[in-house]
């Protein structure tokens, strides 16, 4: 027996506390690293003229990332977000124009504008909720794999948006609200970010972070993600949780699309098809942000920080004179690296599963031996 | 002890397949094709003409080649190969680059590229057990970035080459460096040969159709008659059982993904030849339609169930649906919407019927 132990020297498999802490908070390390590198290469990176537009462009993926993280925490994937953004954008613009005309157009005054916006918002959000419900019901009750459902949804919705827009760009007939939404509240260089869109985004982000980590509902969602059967046995309605996570995903994506379209005053049917796909950005940042691919742990704020740091990389690439095409490549490689790292660590865990037991046994045997000799 | 056994409830779960479900899964596609043919005849008198049906087959032959490859991946229990669109695009681009030495070199380079992509996919999914969908999606993004970065946003035309063309691309600058006289190559005839690939007719039938039929027959033989096919079936139905019974699962998964990528690259070469331009957007959307066709053809998403005949049926059904919708006068984007809706409904029905049997869920 002793010979056996000598031959197979079991290595220590437990990771140190420091490594675990660093790994779970790796996104903050990553963000700081990127900021330092970018500032070293281009000092004007930290200027307000650069930071403010960067944060403004990342508001859309941050919003989408909230719902995406929720779905991933519950153990599923929502690939339809890219199309849902376009649905939100197109529907809110189209419905506003329709109701604005019904209320009498410019002759209706401010009242017509406000009512038309309220109705258009309600219809768009309702559309998002219905999309989420269909996704969630098919996944939770129909037991269809979430990839398949959401990919089908993606195609159906992108077809829908093209038919709805008739292939054109839709702009609002009245740009009053557009100006309000994008006007900065405080006119100090760095605080120019504080537009109403930013405030809405921040409130939604903080609300969902608290909902996830500080409430009973959120904690039970985490349990559903880490072990569905255990969650079911402990009395959690798993189906309801999964359906709601899909509803949250679709409605936050709709909201993000709506706000983006209003701020640009244009809804295009193919946003993200030729450029950087928002799905790619959100998927990469959710995984980099520490959400486990199989579900069970994650944080909305960490996803948002990851979005910001990826945007910082893009921004730095542009400042260093590299083109748009490099951004696409960089985002893809980043996503691939993180996926490889995650799956390699899971692979090693599985490999070491038996080894760890053997190491523990060895320790026990040592103690037993000591006890018997003394 | 006996008391306990007698008090146990009788197992009321179904153990035998419902005969209707069996026939529906086996011949469901044929029924659907017949139904669609009936609708088509009602819609337009031209529908049943040989010319129209030939057009349908011609239109889906690219899809058929891709679907044959992806069906191996789905048969192996992985959910699909989302890197197929960019594999098509990149092999088209590579083919155009190497075509200037002769068409056959171009095709060989394209297929080699496809095999390499499949090898990488298979290694990560078979060896490291990465989630197939996430990895192939990431691979798709990387390949898209590679093509766009190396071409700096431009496209490559087979029949156009000047000094500027040789500054971008994967191998073009290298070719220029190795052989400065490359500009004097007679590109016109070779480009014509490449561009004619998609419009070559043999006995009045397009070459692509023959390629699709050959690929499908090969796929059929590999899937249902070879040892590899049998091992694939075990891996797809139950990964752990396959592992315990001594099947080299990693190798099988790698081969399945290589199969998929090689088929995608063959289709990519033909599609590039059809469009007469190599660019990153060639083949967009083919992954999803291929999965739709495969599922329509009765292949189970959980792996290990289905046949190549069903895949052909599914591909033909997609062609018929698109043809009928065009004859009615429905636009392309509405067609997309309808295809997506059909896909979701078919998958839901498929999953629920499998669950009723207590088999599994997809």
Residue B362 reports pLDDT greater than 50? no
Looking only at the bridges linking them, the beta strands covering B205-206 and B201-202 are antiparallel
Name the percent of chain B lying above pLDDT 90.
30
Domain membership of residue B127 as a residue range: 17-39+46-356
What are the angstrom distances between the C-alpha of B269 and each of B191, B275, B313?
13, 10, 24
Compare A329 and B359 and report the one with higher pLDDT: A329
Q: Given B149, B331, B339, which is nearest A155 (Cβ)?
A: B339
> Looking up tokens 């004859």, which residue turns up?
B327
B11 domain residue, yes or no: no
Q: Given A147, A154, A325, which is nearest B133 (Cβ)?
A: A147
B100 domain residue, yes or no: yes
Q: Among A91-100, B242-251, B338-347, where is mean pLDDT lowest?
A: B338-347
> Distance between the two ends of chain B, CA-based, in angstroms?
40
Tell if the CB–CB gap between A280 and B141 is shorter than 8 Å.
Answer: yes
Kindly report, residue by residue over B126-183, the tens digit of the pLDDT. Answer: 888 888 888 998 898 899 888 888 888 778 888 777 777 777 778 887 887 887 777 7
Tell if the CB–CB gap between A159 and B130 is shorter than 8 Å.
Answer: no
Interface test with A, best of B93, B124, B141 (most A CBs within 10 A): B141
Element (H, E) at B206: strand B205-206
Interface test with A, best of B70, B146, B333 (most A CBs within 10 A): B333
Tell if the CB–CB gap between B347 and A158 is shorter than 8 Å.
Answer: no
Burial of B272 (0-12, 13-18, 19+ CB in 10 A): buried
DSSP A35-94: HHHHHHH-GGGGSHHHHHHHHHHHHHHHHHHHHHHHHHHTT---TTHHHHHHHHHHHHHH
B8 domain residue, yes or no: no
Q: Given A143, A160, A343, which is nearest B337 (Cβ)?
A: A160
CA distance B93 to chain A (A): 17
DSSP B114-178: HHHHHHHHHIIIIIS---HHHHHHHHHHHHHHHHHHHHTT--B-TT---TTGGGSSSSHHHHHHH
B10 domain residue, yes or no: no
B214 domain residue, yes or no: yes
Cβ-Cβ contacts under 8 Å, A287 against chain B = 134
Residue B356 reports pLDDT greater than 70? no
Tell if the CB–CB gap between B145 and A333 is shorter than 8 Å.
Answer: yes
Q: Are A24 and A291 in contact (CB under 8 A)?
A: no
**Structure confidence at residue B227 (pLDDT):** 92
**Structure confidence at residue B24 (pLDDT):** 65
Residue A121 CA to residue A117 CA, distance in Å, equals: 6
Q: A81-94 burial by CB neighbour count: b if 16+ within 10 A, else e?
A: bbbbbbbbbbbbbb
- The total of other beta-carbon atoms located within 10 Å of residue A311's CB is 22
A82 CB-side CA count, 13 A: 24
**Structure confidence at residue A300 (pLDDT):** 92
Kindly report, residue by residue over B72-127, the tens digit of the pLDDT. Answer: 999 998 888 889 999 999 999 999 888 888 889 999 999 999 999 999 999 999 88
B245 domain residue, yes or no: yes
Residue A65 CA to residue A61 CA, distance in Å, equals: 6
The total domain count for chain B is: 1
**A239: nearest Cα among A220, A216, A214:** A220
B1 domain residue, yes or no: no
Tell if the CB–CB gap between B335 and A159 is shorter than 8 Å.
Answer: yes
**Structure confidence at residue A256 (pLDDT):** 92
Residue B361 reports pLDDT greater than 50? no
* Averaged pLDDT score across all residues of chain B: 84
Kindly give the residue spans of alpha helices, DSSP state H, lying in chain B: 2-7, 19-43, 50-75, 84-98, 103-122, 132-151, 172-178, 187-195, 207-225, 227-237, 239-244, 249-275, 286-296, 308-328, 332-356
CATH number at residue B126: 1.10.3470
CA distance A250 to chain B (A): 17
**B132: nearest Cα among A322, A181, A293, A52:** A293
Name the percent of chain B lying above pLDDT 70.
90
**Structure confidence at residue B231 (pLDDT):** 92
Which residues in chain A come in under a pLDDT of 50?
10
- The total of other beta-carbon atoms located within 10 Å of residue B120's CB is 18
pLDDT mean over B277-297: 85
Q: What is the ipTM for the molecules in this complex?
A: 0.81
**Structure confidence at residue A126 (pLDDT):** 95
Interface test with B, best of A151, A154, A326 (most B CBs within 10 A): A151
Tell if the CB–CB gap between A149 and B347 is shorter than 8 Å.
Answer: yes
* DSSP-derived 3-state class of residue B103: helix
* DSSP-derived 3-state class of residue B226: coil
Residues contacting A48, CB < 8 A, separation 6+? A189, A190, A192
**Structure confidence at residue B198 (pLDDT):** 83
B272 domain residue, yes or no: yes
Q: Which tokens is B321 given? A: 């649906």
Domains of chain A: 10-373 (1.10.3470)
């Amino acid at each position: 027996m002793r010979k056996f132990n000598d031959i197979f020297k079991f290595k220590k498999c437990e990771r140190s506390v420091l490594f675990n802490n660093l790994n779970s908070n790796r996104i903050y390390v990553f963000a700081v690293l990127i900021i330092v590198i970018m500032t070293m290469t281009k000092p004007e990176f930290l200027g307000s003229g650069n930071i403010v537009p960067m944060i403004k462009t990342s508001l859309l993926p941050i919003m989408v990332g909230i719902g995406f993280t929720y779905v991933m925490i519950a153990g599923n994937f929502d690939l339809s977000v890219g199309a849902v953004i376009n649905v939100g954008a197109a529907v809110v613009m189209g419905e506003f124009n329709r109701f604005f005309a019904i209320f009498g157009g410019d002759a209706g005054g401010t009242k017509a504008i406000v009512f038309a916006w309220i109705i258009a918002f309600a219809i768009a959000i309702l559309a998002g909720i219905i999309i989420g419900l269909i996704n969630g019901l098919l996944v939770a009750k129909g037991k269809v794999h979430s990839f398949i459902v959401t990919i089908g949804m993606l195609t159906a919705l992108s077809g829908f948006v093209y038919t709805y827009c008739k292939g054109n760009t839709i702009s609002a007939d009245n740009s009053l609200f557009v100006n309000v939404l994008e006007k900065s509240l405080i006119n100090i260089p760095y605080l120019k970010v504080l537009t109403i869109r930013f405030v809405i985004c921040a409130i939604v982000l903080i609300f969902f972070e608290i909902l996830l980590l500080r409430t009973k509902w959120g904690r039970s969602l985490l349990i559903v993600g880490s072990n569905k059967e255990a969650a079911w046995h402990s009395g959690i309605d798993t189906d309801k949780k999964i359906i709601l996570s899909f509803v949250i995903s679709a409605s936050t994506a709709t909201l993000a699309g709506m706000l983006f379209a209003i701020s640009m005053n244009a809804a295009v049917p193919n946003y993200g098809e030729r450029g950087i796909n928002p799905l790619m950005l959100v998927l990469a940042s959710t995984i980099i942000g520490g959400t486990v691919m199989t579900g069970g742990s994650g944080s909305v704020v960490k996803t948002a920080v990851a979005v910001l740091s990826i945007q910082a990389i893009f921004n730095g690439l542009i400042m260093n004179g590299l083109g748009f095409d490099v951004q696409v490549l960089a985002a893809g490689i980043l996503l691939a690296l993180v996926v490889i790292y995650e799956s390699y660590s899971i692979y090693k865990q599985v490999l070491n599963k038996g080894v760890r037991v053997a190491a523990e046994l060895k320790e026990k045997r040592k103690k037993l031996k000591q006890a018997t000799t003394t | 002890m006996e008391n306990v056994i007698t008090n146990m409830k009788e197992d009321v779960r179904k153990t035998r397949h419902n005969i209707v479900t069996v026939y529906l899964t086996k011949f469901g596609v044929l029924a659907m094709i017949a139904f669609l043919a009936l609708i088509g005849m009602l819609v337009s008198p031209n529908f049943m003409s040989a010319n129209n049906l030939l057009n349908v087959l011609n239109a889906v032959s690219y899809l058929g080649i891709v679907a044959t490859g992806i069906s191996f991946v789905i048969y192996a229990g992985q959910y699909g190969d989302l890197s197929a669109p960019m594999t098509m695009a990149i092999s088209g681009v590579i083919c155009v680059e190497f075509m200037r030495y002769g068409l056959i070199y171009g095709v060989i380079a394209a297929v080699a590229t496809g095999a390499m992509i499949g090898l990488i996919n298979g290694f990560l999914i078979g060896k490291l057990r990465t989630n197939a969908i996430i990895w192939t999606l990431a691979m798709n993004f990387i390949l898209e970035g590679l093509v766009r970065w190396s071409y700096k946003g431009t496209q490559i035309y087979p029949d156009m080459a000047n000094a500027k063309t040789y500054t971008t691309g994967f191998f073009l600058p290298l070719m220029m460096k190795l052989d400065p006289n490359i500009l004097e190559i007679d590109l016109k005839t070779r480009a014509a040969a490449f561009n004619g690939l998609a419009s070559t007719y043999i006995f009045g039938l397009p070459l692509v159709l023959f390629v699709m039929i050959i690929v499908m027959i090969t796929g059929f033989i590999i899937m249902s008659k070879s040892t590899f096919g049998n091992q694939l079936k075990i891996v797809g139905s139950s990964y752990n059982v396959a592992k315990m019974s001594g099947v080299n699962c990693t190798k099988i998964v790698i081969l399945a993904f290589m199969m998929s990528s090689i088929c995608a690259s063959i289709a990519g070469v033909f599609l590039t030849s059809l469009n007469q331009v190599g660019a990153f957007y060639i083949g967009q959307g083919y992954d999803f339609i291929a999965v739709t066709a495969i599922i329509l053809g009765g292949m189970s998403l959980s792996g290990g169930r289905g046949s190549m005949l069903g895949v052909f049926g599914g591909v033909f059904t997609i062609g018929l649906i698109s043809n009928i919708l065009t004859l009615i006068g429905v636009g392309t984007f509405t067609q997309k919407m309808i295809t997506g809706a059909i896909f979701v409904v078919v998958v839901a029905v498929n999953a629920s019927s499998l669950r009723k049997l207590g088999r599994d869920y997809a």
